[in-house]
A and B are shown apart, each in its own frame.
Chain A
């Protein structure tokens, strides 16, 4: 290099303005923290189960989950009966389901064996996660079986639409 082309050397280092990126990341963290929910640990969405919407649901609590799809009945991830067999069967109670729920109750009793108010603290909650198109004739057998196993408080799992309802009201 020489002659007219010779200039002062330009610095190779360039400062990046990272402030907007930090702002954006902070906003994202705040949004995700507000969105954070632990209910997914109790109920997992399944491909073959489409839940109905509800606007007045309560927060879901830990309890045994009975999932009813179009083809099978599952308790805590374990298949206990086929829906077609339940429909064909004459017995109102579902044997596999009752056995599994009794096991769950035994486990609860074992965990709370040192609790003097064990009987009082037993709420008998069971979560039913059924597909939208499951008919009541299946549902009533599941509810009856749950009652036989000592679970009288049935919680129907629904997709929470309370935020949507609140927005509609404010409009």
Chain B
């Protein structure tokens, strides 16, 4: 960094024999200090796990206040030990059986099938935004969250959660 550069004759004087380099040395030490402090601060305050939220309403209040009956229907996903049941106020009822049991004895829900069925409902009723998830007592939080996430992903963001039965 220091030294080098093309020497140029100094103007004026007697003969102008003395030469001075054009290069200037920039003192980067303060910049390094600043960067080191910033890195330390950011490392101390860094949040490595990003937390998000899935908003739900309690007690089946997920639908909009004024429901146009022709354009929207009541969609309910009942989440149980044996699987899921998707029912609509239009009279459709679809069983989505569980794929099996996890090593802990919990049912493994078929979320892909649920997503397909919900997308089908959404394509039939494009204005539909609400869905009610009715869960049995033994259902784990992780399964409930996955079903809600699937519903939101299928274009039904107004989810309400209630107890089944």
Interface residues, chain A, with chain B CB atoms under 8 Å away: 15, 17-19, 21-22, 25-26, 28-29, 32-33, 35-40, 42-43, 45, 51-52, 54-61, 68, 127, 130-137, 139-140, 143-144, 146-147, 152-160, 162-163
Whether A25 touches B138, Cβ cut-off 8 Å, given contacts A147-B58, A155-B55, A158-B149, is no
Interface 9-residue window, one of B5-13, B14-22, B31-39, B118-126: B31-39
Q: Interface size class for chain B?
A: 35 or more
Query: For the complex, is B66 an interface residue (Cβ under 8 Å from A)?
Result: no
Checking A17, A21, A61, A143 against B32 with a beta-carbon cut-off of 8 angstroms, the contacting residue is A21
Since A133-B141, A155-B54, A156-B56 are in contact, a sample of 12 more A-B pairs with Cβ atoms closer than 8 Å, ordered by chain A residue number, is: A29-B38, A54-B54, A57-B149, A133-B142, A135-B139, A137-B138, A144-B58, A156-B53, A156-B54, A159-B49, A162-B52, A163-B50
Q: Is the CB of B51 within 8 A of A132?
A: no
Q: Is the CB of B51 within 8 A of A139?
A: no
Checking A58, A132, A144, A152 against B141 with a beta-carbon cut-off of 8 angstroms, the contacting residue is A132
Checking A28, A60, A137 against B53 with a beta-carbon cut-off of 8 angstroms, the contacting residue is A60
Q: Is the CB of B54 within 8 A of A17?
A: no
CB distance from A41 to the nearest CB of B (A): 8
Query: For the complex, is B101 an interface residue (Cβ under 8 Å from A)?
Result: no
Q: Is the CB of B142 within 8 A of A159?
A: no
Interface residues, chain B, with chain A CB atoms under 8 Å away: 1-3, 28, 31-32, 35-36, 38-39, 42-43, 45-59, 61, 104, 135-142, 144-146, 148-149, 152-153, 161, 163
Nearest A residue to B150 via CB reads A56
Q: Is the CB of A157 within 8 A of B137?
A: no
CB distance from B24 to the nearest CB of A (A): 14
Question: How far does the alpha carbon of A165 sit from the alpha carbon of B135 in the complex, in Å?
Answer: 26
Question: How far does the alpha carbon of A45 sit from the alpha carbon of B140 in the complex, in Å?
Answer: 20
Whether A54 touches B145, Cβ cut-off 8 Å, given contacts A39-B47, A160-B50, is yes
Checking B28, B35, B141 against A134 with a beta-carbon cut-off of 8 angstroms, the contacting residue is B141
Question: How far does the alpha carbon of A138 sit from the alpha carbon of B45 in the complex, in Å?
Answer: 34
Checking B38, B57, B144, B163 against A153 with a beta-carbon cut-off of 8 angstroms, the contacting residue is B57
Q: Is the CB of A36 within 8 A of B141?
A: no
Q: Can you spell out 10 A-B residue pairs with CB atoms less than 8 angstroms apart?
A: A22-B31, A32-B39, A35-B42, A54-B148, A57-B52, A132-B141, A133-B142, A140-B135, A155-B54, A156-B141
